[in-house]
Amino acid sequence: MSQSFHPPFDQRADAVRAPHWWHRLRNVSVSFVLLAAFVLIGAFLWSGAVHAQGNAKELRIGYQKAGSLFVLLKSQGTLEKKLAPLGVSVKWVEFPAGPQLLEGLNVGSIDVGYTGEAPPIFAQAAGAKFAYIGYDPASPEAEALVVPKGSGLKSVADLKGKKIALNKGSNVHFFLVKLLEKNGLKYSDVQPVFLAPADARAAFEKGAVDAWVIWDPFLAAAEKQVGARILADAKGVVPNYAFYLAERGYVERHADVVKALFEELVSQGRYLKDQPAKAAATIAPLQGLSADVVELNLRRYKYSVAPLTDEVVTQQQKIADTFAELKLIPKPIVVRDAALLKPLGPTVAEK
C-alpha cells in the first residue's frame, strides 16, 4: 500500500524564515549528493564493463561435472601453479549443461569453456558472441544408440516405427539422423521422444521407449548399471568432436594464459589416457559415479587439445545445416564466422 508523505512543518514558511547561509549550504549539499551519485553510478558501470571483458588477473573457466578432463584439472591444482608466475588466478564456474555454459560465456561471466558439438550451434544461431579456439579429436565410441538387455531389436533397420529417447538438439540428435540415413531409414521413420538424460534413463528402464541415443558418461552408466546393449555407436557415422570456446576478446588479449591452459589440458589428458584406472579413482567421487563407469568413459574419449582445422569446421557446419533443415535453429549459420583458426602459438597437442 502506498502512503502519502507529510512534511513535519510548513516548508514554505521555513524557507522564508531560514537565514541566507542555510540556502547556500542546502544547495551545496544537494550538488554534492548528485555528484556522489553520478560517481557511484559511473564506477558501477565501469566495473561491470571490466568484468564483462574478463579480468586479466583471473581466468574464469566454465565446466560441467560430466567433463572428466576439467574435473581432474580442477582437482589437481596444477593450472593454478602454472599461472601463478603470470599473476593470474583461476576461478572455476560449474554449469549443469552446455547451453547454460554458452549463456555464461555470452554474458561475460566466464572466459573459456568446453562443450560438445551442438550447444555452440544453438548459441551462434541465437546471436551469442564467442569463438571456437580448439577441439578434442574425434571420439565416436563415446556416443551410441542402446536398447534394453532383453530387446528383440537386432539392427538399426529394426528401429522403424520405434520410440527413441534423445536430448533434443544435442550432438546425439545429429548422430541419430545420420545413423538412420546410413541404414536406409529417414528421421521421419522413427518416433523421437525428447528427454533430458536423467528422464531418458528412467523411460528406458521402464520400457516406455524402445531405444535411447546417448553419450558418455551416461552411456557407460547405462551399460554398467542396467545392462544396456549397444546397437550402434558413432564409428563410421559421425566423428563426435568436443570444442573449447572462449570470449574472442579475452583470447586476443591473453593468448599466453589460454596457451598455458591448453598445455595443462594436454598434460592431464595424457595422464587420463595412460592411467585410466588411477584417474577414474580420483574422478569418480567428484562425479558421483562408480570408478568402473568412469574408467569405461575415459577409455572412449581422446583427450588432446588441437587447433581448429578446415576439416573440423566443415564437419561442424554439416551439423548446423542439418539442424537448420530440421528447424531446430531459427536460421542457417556460418560456423566459420565464430572459428579462430589461428593457432595460439605452437601446437600444444604435439608436445
Q: How confident is the model at residue 26 (pLDDT cuts 50, 70, 90)?
A: very low
pLDDT tens-digit map of 111-134: 999 999 999 999 999 999 999 999
Which of 29-43, 148-162, 247-261 is the least confident region? 29-43
Return the CATH number at 145.
3.40.190.10
Omega before 217 within 30 of 0, i.e. cis: yes
Which of 58-67, 263-272, 334-343 is the least confident region? 334-343
Q: Which domain holds residue 150?
A: 141-233
pLDDT tens-digit map of 225-240: 999 999 999 999 999 9
Q: Same structural domain for residues 346 and 336?
A: yes
pLDDT of residue 346: 42
How much is the mean pLDDT over the chain? Answer: 84
The C-alpha atoms of residue 90 and residue 214 are separated, in whole angstroms, by 32
Which of 53-57, 234-238, 266-270, 317-321 is the least confident region? 53-57
The C-alpha atoms of residue 199 and residue 165 are separated, in whole angstroms, by 9
Q: Same structural domain for residues 105 and 79?
A: yes
pLDDT of residue 302: 85
CA atoms within 13 A on the CB side of 290: 9
Burial zone of 24 (CB within 10 Å; 0-12 exposed, 13-18 middle, 19+ buried): exposed
Q: Same structural domain for residues 282 and 334?
A: yes
Looking at 181, 211, 233, the residue that finishes a domain is 233
pLDDT of residue 27: 44
CB-CB contact of 228 with 215 (8 Å): no
Q: Same structural domain for residues 346 and 250?
A: yes
**Strand order in 58-64's β-sheet?**
89-95, 58-64, 112-115, 242-246, 131-136
Q: Average of pLDDT values for 304-321?
A: 94
pLDDT of residue 340: 85
Q: Same structural domain for residues 248 and 342?
A: yes
pLDDT of residue 56: 57
Burial zone of 322 (CB within 10 Å; 0-12 exposed, 13-18 middle, 19+ buried): middle
pLDDT of residue 261: 96
pLDDT of residue 225: 96
The C-alpha atoms of residue 214 and residue 31 are separated, in whole angstroms, by 64
pLDDT of residue 107: 94
Q: Same structural domain for residues 331 and 262?
A: yes
The C-alpha atoms of residue 99 and residue 117 are separated, in whole angstroms, by 11
pLDDT at residue 29 greater than cutoff 60: no
pLDDT of residue 232: 98
pLDDT at residue 19 greater than cutoff 80: no
Q: Same structural domain for residues 176 and 228?
A: yes
Which of 4-18, 49-63, 238-252, 288-302 is the least confident region? 4-18
Q: Average of pLDDT values for 213-229?
A: 96
pLDDT tens-digit map of 151-192: 999 999 999 999 999 998 888 999 999 999 999 999 999 999
**Residues 6+ positions from 138 with CB-CB distance below 8 Å:** 239, 240, 241, 302
Q: Same structural domain for residues 249 and 346?
A: yes
Does residue 9 sit within a domain? no
Q: Same structural domain for residues 66 and 33?
A: no
pLDDT of residue 22: 36
Q: Same structural domain for residues 338 and 281?
A: yes
Q: Same structural domain for residues 222 and 249?
A: no
pLDDT at residue 52 greater than cutoff 50: no
pLDDT tens-digit map of 69-126: 999 999 999 999 999 999 999 999 999 888 899 999 999 999 999 999 999 999 999 9
Which of 11-15, 80-84, 206-210, 215-219 is the least confident region? 11-15
pTM, full prediction = 0.78
**How many domains are there within the chain?**
3
CA distances from 116 to 13, 26, 44 (A): 72, 62, 35
Does residue 219 sit within a domain? yes
Task: Provide the phi-psi class of 101: left if phi over 0, else alpha when psi is between -120 and 50, else beta.
Answer: alpha
pLDDT of residue 344: 57
- Parallel/antiparallel/unpaired status of strands 89-95 and 58-64: parallel
Does residue 158 sit within a domain? yes
pLDDT at residue 48 greater than cutoff 50: no
